[in-house]
Amino acid sequence: MFGPLKALFKNNEPSVKVIDKVWMSAQAKFNACVAMAHANPNCVFVCWFSETYEVLLRSLAEEQLVLAERAGSKTFEGKMIVFAEHHPLNKKEVSLYKMLNLNEAPVLSSLDEPLFMRFGGDRTIDLMKKLGMKEDEVVGSALITKALRNAQRKIEEQVPVERAAHSQQEWFNLNLPVK
């Protein structure tokens, strides 16, 4: 009896596979971006915040970078799209992934970014160092992606109206100030 109703309300939109790659530090992540850009000149990095865009612009060509707010108006045919960071709100990411018609979205992050620091990034860095990991080693797994989505959903519950920001840190200061 409920089968047909369940099928009627089922979300039939294709989902985007997010591929998270995480470094211990922002510097290690930026070094990886530069290496990726040199290895694949068709790589385009999408930045959610202008601060990230400006940091990457010091090492990459302008045509290899785009701010997320401008990504919908660009043509990326033949390009590999890589997100240079996460946005704190998952719904914003999903909206852009769909607008760009992506099947998968590689997202690069670092544990010292505000999004991670809010959820124990400093403890994770300490653990990784104790395990002997190097700063330039990348970590990626479905568990990290799931933990990030859960963190983003918790943030979404607390931010009814988003205020735009220049950096991820400023975003948190404006939208989720520490009480």
Domain holding 154, by residue range, is 16-175
In sequence order, the 6+-apart residues with CB closer than 8 A to the CB of 117 are 111
In sequence order, the 6+-apart residues with CB closer than 8 A to the CB of 36 are 43, 82
10 inside domain: no
Mean pLDDT of 16-44: 96
């205020």: which residue's tokens? 163
Q: Which of 12-26, 46-60, 144-158 has the lowest mean pLDDT?
A: 12-26
Split into its structural domains, the chain has a count of 1
Mean pLDDT, the chain, rounded, equals 90
3 inside domain: no
20 inside domain: yes
Per-residue pLDDT tens digits for 129-142? 888 989 899 998 88
94 inside domain: yes
Per-residue pLDDT tens digits for 49-106? 999 999 999 999 999 999 999 998 788 999 999 999 999 999 999 999 999 999 999 9
- Residue/partner pairs of 74-82 with CB below 8 Å, 24 or more apart: 76/44, 76/100, 78/42, 79/42, 79/43, 79/44, 80/40, 80/42, 80/43, 80/44, 81/44, 81/46, 81/105, 81/106, 82/33, 82/36, 82/43, 82/44, 82/45, 82/46, 82/106, 82/107, 82/108
1 inside domain: no
7 inside domain: no
pLDDT for the residue 179: 66
9 inside domain: no
The pTM of this model reads 0.88
4 inside domain: no
Q: What is the CATH number of the domain that holds 136?
A: 3.40.50.300
pLDDT(1) > 60:
no
Q: Which of 19-33, 54-68, 104-118, 135-149 has the lowest mean pLDDT?
A: 135-149
